């Protein structure tokens, strides 16, 4: 029997949360969207509407479908207002923050609610460890931009109920994603492999082999949709750096996963990529 939730709660209305909200609403689900910054939820709704307007212009979506999708996303004023069949956290890669969110929501949601972490690199077992019932927690890692990237990783923690893996496979198919299952290890599959895409790009630039523009152009010409610096700007340099640090710690300081001091300097100066208007490149207001 196919499992299908009715409501999905999403915590975090940044680039990732916004994309997850859009794909869930497009699949016909009712979405509750919360962010500690209420203006971020409004911004996310505006960007989703703009994204869908482009789809209407390209005849990939009707105006009626667009309105139905947008009207399916409901802002929540307080975290405890998020009550749903599935709750997905899409917040910063800070384990204490993720644990706190799940602890608070576990108290106000029913016994059947599934708690999903979108962590890029932190152990699902560790995130779930502060819950009253860690068997209710599972990892489902989306990739940026979540409304276009088809892959998701399903990660089981040590105490994850095996039934949740089945349900995440069903949920992934429902929202149009292709799922792969991976063990709970640092960076899982994609981010573990992708670290070298980013870290080696920094090495090439620092050694003067090629500049940011040149490296990105070469990678695009080799068949990549985006070069490493363009992709870091899209993901957010702070998010990308946090993932690198997490994997570096997870592999006990292995040199091959060492974070770049250049990236740290950019983050410290507020150059976070598209979301701040400037990273390796500069962006116009509202550009995605």
- The owner of tokens 């709750």 is 87
User: Which position among 141, 172, 230, 248 bears the catalytic label?
Assistant: 141
> Which phi and psi (to 5°) does residue 30 adopt?
-85, 130
Is there a catalytic annotation at residue 96? no
Task: Give the single-character DSSP code of 239.
Answer: H
Q: Catalytic: which of 51, 120, 156, 246?
A: 120
| Structural domains of the chain sorted by starting position, each given as residue range(s) with its CATH number in brackets | 7-182 (3.40.50.720), 191-276 (1.10.1040.50)
Q: Considering 191, 240, 246, 260, which one is annotated as catalytic?
A: 191
179 a catalytic residue: no
Q: Identify the active-site residue in 89, 93, 106, 153.
A: 153
How many beta carbons lie within 10 A of that of residue 271, not counting itself? 19
Please check whether residue 83 is in contact with residue 106, taking contact to mean a CB–CB distance below 8 angstroms: no
Q: Exposure of 136 by Cβ count < 10 A (0-12 exposed, 13-18 middle, 19+ buried)?
A: buried
Helix (H, G, I), strand (E, B) or coil at 180: strand
pTM of the entire predicted model? 0.91
Q: How many CB atoms lie within 10 A of CB 74?
A: 18
Give me the pLDDT at residue 7, please.
98
pLDDT, residue 286, reads 52
Residue 80 is among the residues annotated as catalytic for this protein:
no
CA distance 208 to 204: 6
Task: Check if 144 is active-site.
Answer: no
Residue-level pLDDT at 287:
55
Q: Are 60 and 39 in contact (CB under 8 A)?
A: no
Beta-strand pair 151-155/137-141: antiparallel
Mean pLDDT by 10 residues, the chain (288 residues): 88 96 98 96 96 94 95 97 98 95 97 96 96 98 93 97 97 97 94 94 95 96 95 93 93 94 96 94 74
């Amino acid at each position: 029997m196919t499992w299908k939730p009715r409501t999905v709660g999403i915590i975090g209305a940044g680039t990732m949360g916004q994309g997850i909200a859009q794909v869930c609403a497009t699949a016909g689900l009712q979405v509750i969207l919360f962010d500690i910054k209420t203006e971020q939820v409004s911004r996310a709704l505006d960007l989703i509407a703009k994204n869908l307007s482009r789809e209407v212009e390209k005849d990939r979506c009707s105006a009626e479908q667009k309105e139905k999708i947008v009207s399916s996303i409901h802002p929540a004023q307080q975290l405890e207002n998020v009550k749903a069949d599935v709750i997905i956290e899409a917040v910063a890669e800070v384990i204490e923050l993720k644990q706190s969110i799940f602890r608070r929501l576990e108290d106000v949601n029913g016994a059947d609610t599934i708690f999903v972490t979108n962590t890029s690199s932190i152990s699902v077992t560790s995130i779930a460890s502060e819950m009253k019932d860690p068997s209710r927690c599972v990892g489902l890692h989306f990739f940026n931009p979540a409304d276009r990237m088809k892959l998701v990783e399903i990660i089981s923690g040590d105490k994850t109920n095996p039934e949740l893996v089945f349900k995440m496979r069903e949920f992934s198919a429902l929202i149009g994603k292709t799922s792969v299952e991976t063990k709970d290890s640092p960076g899982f599959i994609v981010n573990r492999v992708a670290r070298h895409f980013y870290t080696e790009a920094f090495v090439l630039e620092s050694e003067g082999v090629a500049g940011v523009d040149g490296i990105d152009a070469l990678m695009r010409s080799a068949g990549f949709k985006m070069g490493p610096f363009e992709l870091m700007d899209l993901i957010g340099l702070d998010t990308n750096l946090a993932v690198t640090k997490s994997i570096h710690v997870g592999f006990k300081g292995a040199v091959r996963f060492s974070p770049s001091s250049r990236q740290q300097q950019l983050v410290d100066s507020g150059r976070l990529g598209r979301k701040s208007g400037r990273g390796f490149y500069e962006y116009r207001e509202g550009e995605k």
